[in-house]
Amino acid sequence: MQQPTLGALGYINSLPFFYPIEKGIIPCTAALNYDTPFSNNRRLRTGQLDIALISASEYLAQREHYTLLDSLCIGAKMKVMSVCLYTRLPVTKLSGLTVGLTDHSASSVNLLKVLCHHFWKVTPNFERFGKIDEHPQYDAFLLIGDASLQNPSFSGYATIDLAHAWYRETGLPFTFALFAAKKDTDPASVTETQAQLQKALAWSQSHRDEIIAAAGDKTALPEPILQEYFNTLQYSLTPEMQQGLETFNNLFKAQQPALL
């Protein structure tokens, strides 16, 4: 059996999956390849990866081409802290204004577009940006992952946690990322990799202090913030998480031309 390639993420929210594998605590037969969610989406779609942690939006758009590792995810219920919109104006006043978008994510960007279109009833102009220090040119801008955690606020901007905004509007959790494999990936490799990821997650859940310490080393964030952050995260693709995922998918598809 050829060694499969596994697209990993370097954000601290994925540490429970990849830290025990990196440290050799949980053996993994797949070769880890680290990148951003946006790049993982592209590389899995084009066959450069066999299995990957990808944006939920990518899975929903291409699900006929993917096999879902259906017990694992990264999501949040009432807030997430690491997917935030920073805005100079109330969100209901953003029509016609420019909103900067991180180039690292698809699910977070599409969640913002769904919130704008269906709930806030605004039509901003969306523009990708590369660096955080470009933010002053935008009326609002979106950051994800460690960059958002490390910048809970910016002077002159209000911070909107998008998972909290989604929960407030729908009463449902939000799934940001999922593990998926290309349809032609060897089924035995997919089953084996899923089992190894589940073991890694189980180890991390029983060694939370070590995961928190590793997250602190990576970000220099204080331990209380990291404790709060990991308390928000959901790693099991429960029926409630699936309901939130499909609700998001239906809303996105209902007005898709307007959201592109």
Q: Is there a single domain that holds both residue 183 and residue 61?
A: yes
The verdict on 178 and 71 lying in the same domain is yes
Reported as a pLDDT band with limits 50, 70 and 90, residue 231 is very high
pLDDT tens, position by position, 109-118: 999 999 999 9
Q: What is the pLDDT of residues 117-147, one digit of tens each?
A: 999 999 999 998 877 777 778 999 999 888 8
Q: Please give the average per-residue pLDDT across 185-201, as a whole number.
A: 96
Domain boundary residue, one of 139, 172, 205: 172
Q: At what angle do helices 187-206 and 208-219 cross, to 10 degrees?
A: 90
Confidence of residue 257 (pLDDT cuts 50, 70, 90): low
> Does the pTM exceed 0.85?
yes
CA-to-CA distance for 163 and 156, rounded, in angstroms?
22
- Please tell me whether residues 181 and 64 are part of one structural domain: yes
Alpha helices in the chain (DSSP H): 15-22, 37-45, 56-62, 107-114, 145-149, 162-170, 187-206, 208-219, 223-232, 239-254, 256-259
pLDDT of residue 92: 97
Comparing 99 with 255, which gets the higher pLDDT? 99
Look up the CATH number of the domain holding residue 67.
3.40.190.10
Domain boundary among 123, 148, 172: 172
Q: Same domain, yes or no, for 60 and 98?
A: no
Q: Are 178 and 106 in contact (CB under 8 A)?
A: no
Domain that holds residue 202: 5-75+174-256
- Say yes or no: 61 and 187 in one domain: yes
Choose one of 154, 172, 190: the last residue of a domain: 172
Domain count, the chain: 2
User: CB under 8 Å to 191, separation ≥6 — which residues?
Assistant: none
